[in-house]
Amino acid sequence: MAQEGRYEPVAEIGVGAYGTVYKARDRASGRFVALKNVRVTGTENGLPLSAVREVALLKRLEHFDHPNIVR
């Protein structure tokens, strides 16, 4: 998590191949957000390519202006 304690988990939304998505409340603003905990199994060669792709995809989504995409 970016800042420990900044978000208060409310509920688990879903579990997928790459991690778990949670509904959480931003303690500072009171707004609800979605948090994705990406599952990463460390290897001796660094991060798995699938985890790197997942993070890259999520970073690209923040450039879209759509009500269903959380920044």
Say whether 36 counts as a known binding-site residue.
yes
Taking the C-alpha atoms of residue 33 and residue 48, their distance in angstroms, rounded to an integer, is 27
Residue with the two structure tokens 């948090």: 35
Say if CB 40 and CB 48 are below 8 A apart: yes
Binding residues for ATP: 36
Binding residues: 36
